[in-house]
């Protein structure tokens, strides 16, 4: 539960499924079909516990609870002690405790979704048959992928590809938690690759970027076997994952490596120093794992895609090849404000790159990856479905309408090669329209 201290919605979503995963693992030992790979490699770091159930083909990796509690407690003490007076210390302690309680409520409210996600990962589609393949893209313990595709997707299909990188304050996240999103995108005709990567404290953010880079390379080399086209790859990241994906495309550009067709960021962090200041003002900067994952304040600039784009615009950095970047963000997001996406898109445009920023009036930080349902799925019926910016007048989705951001993501993957695609994006772009 201490991950809730980070006050990040993506971390909140990750935590309850982690607890449920332990229960699911125990239940699986009584006959359920195993879903994870059998691996013998153990992380040398004490930050992880690795439990292998011999003969069951199951493996569970968990962040060390003691290390998370220690980090959260030190952050809480730091937040309180830096207040100048006793009265202000008490006020700050109450504020932080209030934030913790809000996150705990969020954790328990996420239980129904966690159950849905777990079931979606374990079962094939009821109405649209969906296959889930598993593979590895690297040597590290968590360098694994789940590949979702329709059963009739053959090697000659050349379907669009979505490579998704989860968030979770660089410290939490499991592939199966995003099964509803992956299932729906697969039903829409995409080949969907969900990855895991080594988390803090076993890896720094820079090392995570390297693993995302390796996963993208694996997709280019192998996705054809699953019916996907290496020429139609969209690299999609959420929250901390969006920071990692965008740093990965910058890293590939610096060495002249092949790029995805699209780089899509959902509620991402692109200027780490600015976001640290935002977290400081919220009173959670020392509790969040962002600062240590970056290697401290000295590593903020090197892990900020916005600053790299500004360096190109100023002529201090020469980078030629970046993919078209599309940034989607809710204006109601209080975990990562939408201004992060707007500023990055503006910086990319000033540097001469093609970038689009789409802002949405509904949803919070976690909704872009949580508010998904697929055919045969059980919906609560109270989800907000707004007017999409890109999907009007196009082929309708295969299932029930999704919230507008999610519908637009489906449309981005489907129509990226349409000649009118960029014109439609410009008409929807908040920066273009405001200018």
Phi and psi, residue 147, nearest 5°: -110, 115
- Percentage of the chain lying above the pLDDT 90 cut: 51
Please write the tens of the pLDDT for every residue from 31-60. Answer: 333 333 323 333 333 333 333 333 333 333
DSSP string, 120-158: HHHS--SSS-EEEEEEESSSSTT-EEEEEEETT--TT--
Mean pLDDT for the stretch of residues 344-363: 95
Confidence of residue 192 (pLDDT cuts 50, 70, 90): very high
Give the pLDDT of residue 388: 66
User: What average pLDDT does the structure give for the chain?
Assistant: 79
Give the pLDDT of residue 267: 97
| pLDDT at residue 233 tops 60 | yes
Alpha-carbon distance of 316 to 309, in angstroms, equals 10
Give the pLDDT of residue 315: 95
Mean pLDDT for the stretch of residues 358-373: 91
| HEC letters along 165-205 | ECCCCCCCCCHHHHHHHHHHHHHCCCEEEEECCCCCCCCCH
Give the pLDDT of residue 376: 62
Q: What is the largest CA-CA distance in the chain?
A: 69
Please write the tens of the pLDDT for every residue from 6-40. Answer: 333 343 344 433 433 333 333 332 233 333 332 33
| pLDDT at residue 80 tops 80 | no
Residue 228 pairs in a beta bridge with 159
Alpha-carbon distance of 417 to 324, in angstroms, equals 12
266, 239 in Cβ contact below 8 A? yes
C-alpha distance from residue 274 to each of 33, 58, 123, 195, 404 (Å)? 46, 41, 42, 28, 28
Confidence of residue 240 (pLDDT cuts 50, 70, 90): very high
353, 322 in Cβ contact below 8 A? yes
Alpha-carbon distance of 378 to 428, in angstroms, equals 31
Q: What is the DSSP letter of 50?
A: E
Give the pLDDT of residue 153: 85
Give the pLDDT of residue 275: 98
Token code pair at residue 109: 């409210």
Report if pTM > 0.85.
Answer: no
Mean pLDDT for the stretch of residues 93-112: 75
| pLDDT at residue 75 tops 80 | no
Please write the tens of the pLDDT for every residue from 127-185. Answer: 566 788 889 999 999 999 999 998 888 888 899 999 999 999 999 999 999 999 999 99
C-alpha distance from residue 377 to each of 117, 124, 181, 299 (Å)? 10, 11, 11, 43
């Amino acid at each position: 539960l201490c991950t809730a201290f980070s006050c990040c919605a993506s971390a909140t979503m990750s935590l309850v499924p982690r607890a449920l995963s332990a229960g699911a693992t125990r239940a699986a030992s009584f006959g359920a079909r195993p879903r994870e790979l059998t691996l013998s490699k153990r992380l040398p770091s004490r930050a992880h516990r690795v439990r292998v159930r011999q003969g069951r083909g199951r493996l569970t990796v968990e962040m060390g609870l003691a290390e998370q509690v220690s980090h959260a407690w030190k952050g809480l003490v730091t937040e309180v002690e830096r207040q100048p007076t006793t009265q202000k210390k008490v006020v700050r302690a109450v504020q932080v405790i209030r934030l913790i309680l809000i996150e705990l409520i969020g954790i328990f409210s996420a239980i129904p979704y966690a159950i849905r996600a777990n079931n979606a990962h374990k079962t094939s589609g009821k109405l649209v048959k969906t296959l889930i393949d598993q593979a590895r893209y690297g040597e590290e313990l968590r360098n694994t992928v789940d590949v979702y595709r329709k059963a009739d997707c053959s090697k000659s299909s050349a379907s669009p590809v979505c490579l998704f990188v989860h968030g979770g304050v660089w410290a939490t996240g499991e592939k199966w938690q995003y099964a509803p999103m992956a299932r729906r995108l697969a039903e829409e005709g995409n080949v969907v690759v969900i990855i895991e990567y080594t988390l803090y404290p076993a890896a720094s953010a820079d090392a995570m970027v390297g693993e995302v880079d390796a996963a993208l390379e694996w997709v280019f080399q192998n996705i054809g076997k699953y019916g996907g086209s290496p020429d139609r790859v969209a690299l999609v990241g959420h929250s901390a994952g969006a920071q990692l994906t965008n740093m990965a495309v910058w890293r590939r550009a610096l060495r002249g490596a092949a790029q995805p067709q699209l780089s899509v960021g959902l509620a991402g962090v692109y200027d780490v120093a600015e976001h640290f200041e935002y977290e400081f003002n919220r009173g959670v900067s020392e509790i969040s794992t962002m600062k240590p994952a970056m290697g401290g304040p000295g590593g903020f600039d090197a892990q900020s895609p916005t600053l790299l784009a500004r360096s190109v615009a100023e002529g201090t950095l020469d980078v030629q090849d970046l993919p078209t970047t599309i940034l989607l963000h809710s204006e109601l997001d209080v975990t990562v404000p939408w201004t992060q996406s707007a500023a990055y898109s503006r910086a990319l445009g000033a540097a001469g790159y093609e970038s689009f920023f789409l802002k949405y009036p509904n949803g919070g930080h976690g909704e872009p990856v949580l508010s998904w349902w697929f055919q045969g799925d059980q919906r609560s019926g109270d989800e907000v479905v707004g007017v999409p910016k890109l999907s009007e007048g196009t082929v309708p989705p295969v299932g029930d309408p999704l919230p507008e951001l999610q519908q637009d993501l489906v449309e981005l993957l489907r129509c990226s090669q349409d000649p009118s695609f960029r014109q439609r994006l410009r008409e929807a772009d908040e920066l273009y329209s405001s200018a």
